Amino acid sequence: MSNMREDMAYILAEEKEIKEICKRLGKQISEDYKDKDIFIVSVLKGAFVFCADVFRNIDIPCGIDFMAISSYGSGTTSGSIKLIKDLSVDIAGKDILIVEDILDSGMSLSYTIALLKTRNPNSIKICTLLDKPDRRKADIKADYVGKVIPDEFVVGYGLDYDEKYRNLPYIGVLKREIHENNKENING
């Protein structure tokens, strides 16, 4: 991992800070949903690491499933959003908590929410590890936010660049020279 750390302009969140974020969010979610039928929807691939850590910090009964939504094609923003993997359970009447790695433009998340609303859940809320409000295009706001970040290209802890860096235990800002040839592929 030492050579991957050298690819970072700087570290945005070390492993210890991320663990504290997951504990804080898990505690708050547990409190807010204690009398509800909470069901976690994790958005693949980027959110799987964060979702697992938050999930382990929730101390009330809850279900979980996974969706995959794509708005990036071969490293560039395609302009269209498509469902790659759908849920395998009925969510009607459940209180849905969508867990995302990063909320930037909000376009994919808007699509996901609209799709889930057609399935008659009781409620839908959003939990995101990272919130990048400077890139927001859709009118969307997370209910639970781990950390607000600047408009930088971040990797690690599930976030990737060209399917690399997801396995880092921290979140770093990738050096510009590594990703500058493909500026539209900001965290997919």
Does 134 participate in catalysis according to the annotation? no
Give CA–CA dist 150/161, Å, rounded. 17
Q: What is the pLDDT of residue 181?
A: 65
Q: Is residue 3 situated within a structural domain?
A: no
pTM: 0.89
- Tell me, yes or no, whether 57 lies in a domain: yes
Cβ-Cβ contacts under 8 Å for 73 (sequence gap 6 or more): none
Please report the pLDDT score of residue 182 as a whole number: 57
Q: What's the CA angle centered on 113, arms 109 and 115, to 5 degrees?
A: 115
DSSP string, 109-147: HHHHHHHHHTT--SEEEEEEEEE-GGG--SS---SEEEE
Q: What is the CATH number of the domain that holds 98?
A: 3.40.50.2020
Tally of domains in the chain: 1
Q: 188 in a domain, yes or no?
A: no
Asked if residue 177 is part of any domain, the answer here is no
Q: What is the mean pLDDT of each run of 10 residues along the chain (188 residues)?
A: 83 97 98 96 94 97 94 52 93 97 93 96 98 93 97 95 94 92 52
Domain that holds residue 66: 15-151
Question: What pLDDT shows up at residue 64?
Answer: 97
- The pLDDT score that the predictor gives to residue 180 is 79
Which of 7, 95, 101, 104 is the catalytic position? 104
Burial degree of 79 (CB within 10 A; 0-12, 13-18, 19+): exposed
- The alpha-carbon radius of gyration of the chain (Å, integer) is 16
Residue 46 belongs to some domain of the structure: yes
Interatomic CA distance for residues 59 and 122, integer angstroms = 21
